Structure 1
Amino acid sequence: MSDRRLEVDGVSKRYGDTVALSGMTFEVRAGEIFGFVGSNGAGKTTTMRIALGVLAADAGEVRWDGVPVTLETRSRIGYMPEERGLYPRMKVGEQLQYLARLHGLTKADAVRATAEWTERLGVAGRMGDEVQKLSLGNQQRVQLAAALVHHPEILVLDEPFSGLDPVAVDVMSEVLREKCADGVPVIFSSHQLDLVERISDRVGIVRAGSMVAVGTVAELRAGGTEELVVDAPQAPPGWADGLPGITVVRHEGARTVLTLGQDADDQAVLRAAMATGPVREFARRLPSLTELFRHVVSAQDKPEEAAA
């Protein structure tokens, strides 16, 4: 696998007194799917726009293969903006061919690439339709085709799964894996954290314009606090209160989620649960990406940041 990579190095951006990015730093390797997650306003879209040259950074640098990204480099990036950038009254086929030509493809190559990607993404039958006449899901598919039609070396996708039905999500996920297998670095943002967890090779969590956690899903989960899940349907409220070293985190229906201190005895928890009746589940687990996100981003937000 190539060691080429897209590097975002110490990128900062301010709008007046508002700090949009502060030393944003991470990398996306060739042949890797990188999930980029954070709350609204955390800086994901600003980072992507700076990588594309749509915005200029106040400080820092974006590099591809060790060299600062230039206008020529950006012509080889496939970009899918969160605010869809298609011409609503232009026909699908004509639009994709036009965009491919803008990226340097010959007319014949643009026609072939348009046919390939509309077929692959399930919109070949809509080539003669205006974009505005498509469903939102099909507009999403066409927007992805626009990002792929010029055979990009890098893919930067802002909320590509938004509004898609499960079948379309599967198609798009498969396409991203195929591009990854071809050595393309793929960075995408999404609020669908279960999906990010499922398809990403690595994940970066951003808060208040900075990267606060990055790694594989397994690495991030291993760094979280292990929980004990107890499903005791007849247990009364407060059944685990007072157990030494035990903290009740939350209740999920009949299930109680606990954390154990260093000297806590999980068997004492099991005995206390069994004393209330049947126990249907008693298992240790690491936090999911959604739970990690909630902890890293929401729980650590400071009042002054939330108000900014």
Structure 2
Amino acid sequence: MSDSFLFYDLETFGADPRRTRIAQFAAIRTDAALQEIDAPIDLFVQPADDLLPSPVATLITGITPQQARAVGVPEADAFARIHEEMARPKTCTLGYNSLRFDDEFVRFGLYRNFHDPYEREWRSGNSRWDLLDVMRLWHALRPDGLVWPVREDGATSFKLEHLAAANEVRTGDAHEALSDVRALIGLARLFRSAQPRLWDYAARLRDKRHAASLLDTIAMMPVLHVSQRYPAARLCAAPVLPITRHPRIDSRVVVFDLDGDPDWLLDLDADTIASRVFVRREDLPEDVARIPLKEVHSNRCPALVAWSHLRA
């Protein structure tokens, strides 16, 4: 599917991609066997004069606006290079929690600097991937081959810094973009070496058509869904049943968590169901359970496993 993987990471001056900017971009291109094929890229980006950086972000990354201004390049130049690398044909761009965080900064930055924000994700055989839920999938189904760090509450930690330290793939400091990229490549190599079939299976889920084929609302066959939305006590996994497609966005499918009582869907009217879905759990009365409906996005590399593929 891809000739190369572009592993990348960002450090930013804040958490909101609409209002804050990138402080550092780092990337390493590998071949399909995860061997480096190009020189690493490491860019600092000059901050905008009219935006104040978040003090919290600066404390986390250690990148001050003065440092970025002194050694960085203008944002327009940075995004010209980012676009050039990500838009190279048959490139899979991937990171860690990148779909929810880094990719959003890239989209807004590309748009702000007069590049198409989406084409690099699909044109010319390109794709994107996020290894965070892939690591959860590995842990839930075939955990051999990796040391899984444990938090104080007894749950597995999926933070990149903890996984990298436990498996000795870190070179450099956490929250330094190029160091994080090298750590992620190290974990990916361990995954591919320890569980090659699962790695190849997960890689297919980059294709939204393949992911959508597992969410068949006509056959309504259950699948295993791995996501941060499910508690660690359940290995971040749940058997779900595809119920219906989103009425306006075709890439989304509504699923029902089969750990819940399906009679709720059969007995309650639409307004009551909505009142028990679109509400925080703590806002529900003590004797009322939240109805476990969830949207799965076929174009966001969901971690799905067909029920027929599961075995004890």
What TM-score does the superposition give when structure 1 sets the normalisation length? 0.29
Pick the structure with more strand per residue. Answer: 1
What TM-score does the superposition give when structure 2 sets the normalisation length? 0.29
